[in-house]
Chains A and B, each alone.
Chain A
Amino acid sequence: MTLLSRTDKSLLGRWWWTVDRGMLALLLSIIAFGVVLVASASPPVAERIGTGEYHFIIRHLILLLPALVIMFGLSLCDTKMVWRVALCVLAGGLLAMLMVLAFGTEVKGATRWLPVFGFSLQPSEFVKPAFIVVAAWLIARQKEVPSFAGQKWAFGLYGVVLTLLLLQPDLGMSVVVSGCFLGIIFLAGLRLRLVTALLALAIGGLALAYFCFPHVQSRIDRFIDPSSGDTFQVEKSLDAFKNGGLFGTGAGQGTVKLDIPDAHADFIFSVAGEELGLLFVLVMVLLYAAVIVRGFNRVMDSDNVFAVLATGGLLIMFGGQTLIHMGSSLAMLPTKGMTLPFISYGGSSLLSMGMAMGFVLSLTRRQARSGIARGSLSLKPVRASA
């Protein structure tokens, strides 16, 4: 603590005293869990696909560094910088998504990846947080300058992103993006009637997807009636939790990773359940919940509508993705290949989450005016002076 004095006015000094250090600690803890779990879960997967035992561990660690740099770098930015960066990433991302559709590599029935420097990048992962920030800015801008048709722009942008995602097709990502957009609109104070209508539309869209995409239909059928098809992954996943029990089998001793194809990514929560046991899994759930609660609580203090909406949307993305991953592996939701933020292996996911949480850290930095006045951790809405 003596490293940076209170009065240090340097970039780093101001950062240290204004950034949400608690949130930083939470995220670093989650990342530590991730390193342990990927190290344990990935060797069998690597062996299966014929690469070296440490293939995924090394890549995870290599990508962790830029992810942390991105997160740290973005947290240094001010609000204006945040939306500029987001806008650039969005533009680049959308372009990349178009390129993916043109000459992307098809993996397991979907075209999502673009080879960059020996890594497969998934542009949609970067589009997701960038879109949230840009949409939040557009809507917030209309609040300040009513003549600016930000909402229309935001809806238009949403349409473009959704179309590109469905063309891949990537229904999971579409659901997450839609959820976040709905969340932003909800926070932005759209009339509840409109929110309900949009929700109905989203459900209708899901129903449509059920009938349009056979793999979606089959997954949902199997979720509703497990006997209707092969529920191997979910069964194995539940077995893993049962096998783990209270204390787990110990790191590296689990068996679920031997059977589930993407244990290091889509089912890493089950690996945690088996190897670390219930107690550590509860700690993990607590950490994720704390990130959400702390993030919302912190942004309460902000009097910047853009910051509030963007942070809200990003936290909804973070929390939603977490819940979908956990829900899938606990057979509470249809199986959906969703990464667990900061824990699952997956370069794009890691980098995009680094970016998203960098945005959050930046947007929740304590402002000179309000920070001192409202230092409380209360969840109660703090009313601005009328």
Chain B
Amino acid sequence: MKGERGSALDQARGRMVIVSAVFVLAYIIVAARVVDISIIQGGFKGRDVAGYADESRDEGALLRRADITDRNGVLLARSLRTASLYVDPSMVRNAEEVAKSLVRLFPDLNYGSTLKKIQAKSRFEWLKRNLTPDEQQKVLYLGEPGLAFKDEDRRIYPQGGLTSHLVGYSSVDGNGIAGVESSFDGFLKGNNPSLALTIDVRFQHALRRELNAAMHEYKAKGAAGIVMDVRNGEILALVSLPDFDPHHAVDAKDVQKFNKATLGTYELGSVFKVFSVAAFIDSQKNPLRKAFDAREPLKRKSARPIRDYHAQERILSLPEVFIHSSNIGTALMAETMGTKTLQDYYTHFGLIGKSPLEIPEVATSRFNTPWHDVDTLSASFGHAVAVTPLQLITGVSSIINGGEKIEPTLILNDNTHQKAAKSVSERIVSPQTAHRMRQLMRLNVTDGSGKKANVPGLMVGGKTGTADKPGPGGYDHDKRLSSFVAAFPMDDPRYAVFVMLDEPTGTKNTNNFATAGWVAAPVAGEVIATIANLEGLAPRIVGQDFESTLRHLVKSEEQVREERNAQSH
């Protein structure tokens, strides 16, 4: 009896060891599983995960995106720290109710998508970015623990759409998307105080105001304009219309976001005569003694006859070719110079290729390839070559500043002087040529097609350009680009101004003309007058006219009439 019990106990003890071992093993497996789930699958998390009260603690170190200012320190872009609302769906119990109260607070939120976010299987969903303190307070009063805030920087553009094509805009996550915001993204994100642009918002306002007024008056599709410091290529104003509000860039149409001044390439027409005439004067001996037969349209093989818009139908002097904007005249000059010479000059003027500007939205100019000799003739009066307005004003500035090549720049920094010094090394036309071009542009405003750009006492000079836009099967005579490139004061140029209207239509005031002299030149005049006022440039009375040495080469209408009468008799 006792023995059986003893052996039963022995067996029981042996088997208890087995059962114990099985349990120990099972507990070890459970423990391993907990470690696996909590740490390995869960990812190692420190204590920080715990609190939702101190979410923003680590954000203090977050760098604020740097300011962008104009040349005088006026704010163009600044980041403001705001609270952005997100939901931790796992903390929300009554999703419908939370969604309802949120939609009540923010009517722009959609109930369906908000509810979907609140019910998402995640622990973080953005609901609304960049709340005002007032809005944040209202959300806090909901008392919903699943709703929380993260400090975020909101990019504010105090000037609105004024500089939208230059400053650009950035995404809600603080990444630059366009303009300087994009090209200087790294700089702005770095620990830098601010980035100053060469822009002067006062000039920018003036340019935009005048372009906008003209665009509406002449029912133009768009407009663009640039003001440049001819001495160093600094862009003082740059406008492309229509523009957009950078705060709502996502909603802007492509046509609004398109930067006509730097990304648009256009056959700008007669404003190019500044380049062809400058190339002619610079490359020829005694250019002023040359005469140009504009009695008949110029016929060259495999091309349409070249005609003049303001046909004089007589033999013209060089200044007459310029101020009457004779296509025949400049074509003859181009023919005299030859393709190679013209191309070389155009390359030096920066018309071939791409301007080195500090924003991504810069286009490369377009021209016919292969370049036939007939293209050389067209190129002399601004056809067959499509350039950006930026290239045009840079080229004109490089000529009239004394013949030293400059490069456009948007960034104001201490290196500008070095940059200017460097550009001295590249002379593109002689000082004599530069002087002649100044005189010619001034003459065009006093006696030629640019009279409406004149501002008394400011020595404005300029050149008009009215180009039919290329359409299907040739040029469309009803759709044109009217542009004007101006500079002042011509005896010592400081500012260059370019304005362009896209498809303007004439009004009663312009006798239904939509040509550059009628619609674009007055805009340039207004801009120049405003700049002069802002800069305190007093009108001067100059004893002898600056352009007078050329005047003897220009026949007055009376002289022309008399000559014609004499011939007919």
**Residue positions of A touching B, CB distance < 8 A:** 44, 143-144, 146, 183, 186-189, 238-239, 241-250, 253, 255, 258-259, 273, 277-278, 281-282, 285-286, 288-289, 292-293, 296-297, 299-300, 303, 305, 308-309, 312, 316, 319, 323, 326-327, 330, 332, 379-386
Q: Are A242 and B37 in contact (CB under 8 A)?
A: yes
Residues of A within 8 A of B1 (CB): 144
Q: Are A384 and B6 in contact (CB under 8 A)?
A: yes
Q: How far is the CA of A305 from the CA of B15 in the complex (A)?
A: 13
Smallest distance from the beta carbon of A140 to chain B beta carbons, Å?
A: 8
Contacts A303-B9, A323-B26, A384-B6; A244 near B20 (Cβ below 8 A):
no
Q: Are A330 and B34 in contact (CB under 8 A)?
A: yes
Contacts A381-B13, A384-B10; A245 near B23 (Cβ below 8 A):
no
Q: Are B6 and A386 in contact (CB under 8 A)?
A: yes
Residues of A within 8 A of B4 (CB): 143, 146
Q: Are A309 and B20 in contact (CB under 8 A)?
A: no
Q: Are A379 and B20 in contact (CB under 8 A)?
A: yes
Q: How far is the CA of A297 from the CA of B19 in the complex (A)?
A: 11
Residues of B within 8 A of A258 (CB): 90-91, 93
Q: How far is the CA of A332 from the CA of B28 in the complex (A)?
A: 13
Select B42's contact among A243, A379, A384, beta carbons within 8 Å.
Answer: A243
Smallest distance from the beta carbon of B9 to chain A beta carbons, Å?
A: 6
Q: A186-B15, A246-B44, A381-B13 are known; give 8 further A-B pairs, CB within 8 A.
A: A186-B19, A244-B42, A247-B46, A250-B51, A273-B38, A285-B30, A297-B20, A303-B6
Residues of A within 8 A of B34 (CB): 241, 273, 278, 281-282, 285, 330
Q: Are B12 and A187 in contact (CB under 8 A)?
A: yes
Q: Are A189 and B26 in contact (CB under 8 A)?
A: no
Q: How far is the CA of A259 from the CA of B91 in the complex (A)?
A: 9
Chain A proximity mask over B1-38: 1 for CB below 8 Å, otherwise 0:
10111101111111111011001101101110111011
Residues of B within 8 A of A316 (CB): 19
Q: Are A255 and B90 in contact (CB under 8 A)?
A: yes
Question: What residue of chain B has the Cβ atom nearest to residue A184's Cβ?
Answer: B12
Contacts A382-B13, A384-B9; A250 near B50 (Cβ below 8 A):
yes
Residue B39 at the chain A interface, CB threshold 8 Å: yes
Residue B41 at the chain A interface, CB threshold 8 Å: yes
Q: Are B90 and A239 in contact (CB under 8 A)?
A: yes
Select B19's contact among A187, A245, A381, A382, beta carbons within 8 Å.
Answer: A187
- Which DSSP category, helix, strand, loop or mixed, fits chain A's interface? helix
Residue B60 at the chain A interface, CB threshold 8 Å: no
Select A308's contact among B9, B26, B47, beta carbons within 8 Å.
Answer: B9
Residues of A within 8 A of B472 (CB): none
Select A332's contact among B33, B38, B47, B49, beta carbons within 8 Å.
Answer: B33
Q: Are B19 and A285 in contact (CB under 8 A)?
A: no
Determine the interface band of chain B, counting residues with CB < 8 A from chain A: 35 or more
A to B contact number (C-beta, < 8 Å): 151
Contacts A293-B20, A323-B30; A249 near B50 (Cβ below 8 A):
yes
Select B50's contact among A253, A273, A278, beta carbons within 8 Å.
Answer: A253
Select A292's contact among B20, B42, B51, beta carbons within 8 Å.
Answer: B20
Q: How far is the CA of A183 from the CA of B23 in the complex (A)?
A: 12
Question: What residue of chain A has the Cβ atom nearest to residue B41's Cβ?
Answer: A242
Chain A proximity mask over B260-300: 1 for CB below 8 Å, otherwise 0:
00000000000000000000000000000000000000000
Smallest distance from the beta carbon of A327 to chain B beta carbons, Å?
A: 7
Residue B45 at the chain A interface, CB threshold 8 Å: yes
Select A243's contact among B3, B17, B49, beta carbons within 8 Å.
Answer: B49
Residues of B within 8 A of A146 (CB): 4
Smallest distance from the beta carbon of B2 to chain A beta carbons, Å?
A: 10
Select B23's contact among A241, A277, A289, beta carbons within 8 Å.
Answer: A289
Smallest distance from the beta carbon of B258 to chain A beta carbons, Å?
A: 48
Select A281's contact among B9, B14, B38, beta carbons within 8 Å.
Answer: B38
Q: How far is the CA of A323 from the CA of B23 in the complex (A)?
A: 9
Q: How far is the CA of A245 from the CA of B30 in the complex (A)?
A: 16
Q: How far is the CA of A10 from the CA of B15 in the complex (A)?
A: 36
Report, nearest first, the 9 A-B pairs whose CB atoms are least far apart.
A242-B42, A245-B45, A381-B13, A189-B11, A289-B27, A241-B37, A278-B38, A296-B20, A249-B50
Residues of A within 8 A of B20 (CB): 292-293, 296-297, 379
Q: Which of B13, B27, B43, B47 has the most CB of A within 10 A?
A: B13
Smallest distance from the beta carbon of A367 to chain B beta carbons, Å?
A: 13
Q: Which of B4, B44, B49 has the most CB of A within 10 A?
A: B49
Q: How far is the CA of A159 from the CA of B12 in the complex (A)?
A: 24
Q: Are A312 and B39 in contact (CB under 8 A)?
A: no
Residues of B within 8 A of A386 (CB): 3, 6
Residues of A within 8 A of B93 (CB): 44, 258
Q: How far is the CA of A255 from the CA of B50 in the complex (A)?
A: 11
Q: Which of A238, A250, A384 has the most CB of B within 10 A?
A: A384
Q: How far is the CA of A293 from the CA of B47 in the complex (A)?
A: 33
Q: How far is the CA of A277 from the CA of B93 in the complex (A)?
A: 23
Residues of B within 8 A of A293 (CB): 20, 23-24
Smallest distance from the beta carbon of A309 to chain B beta carbons, Å?
A: 7
Contacts A285-B30, A288-B27, A381-B13; A245 near B39 (Cβ below 8 A):
yes
Residues of B within 8 A of A327 (CB): 30
Q: Are A249 and B49 in contact (CB under 8 A)?
A: yes
Q: How far is the CA of A36 from the CA of B394 in the complex (A)?
A: 77
Q: Are A242 and B6 in contact (CB under 8 A)?
A: no
Smallest distance from the beta carbon of A369 to chain B beta carbons, Å?
A: 14
Can you sample 29 A-B contacts with CB below 8 Å?
Answer: A146-B4, A186-B19, A187-B16, A238-B41, A241-B37, A241-B38, A242-B38, A242-B42, A244-B42, A249-B50, A250-B50, A259-B90, A278-B35, A278-B38, A289-B24, A296-B17, A296-B19, A305-B8, A308-B16, A309-B12, A312-B16, A312-B19, A319-B23, A323-B23, A330-B30, A380-B17, A381-B10, A381-B13, A383-B10
Q: How far is the CA of A241 from the CA of B11 in the complex (A)?
A: 41
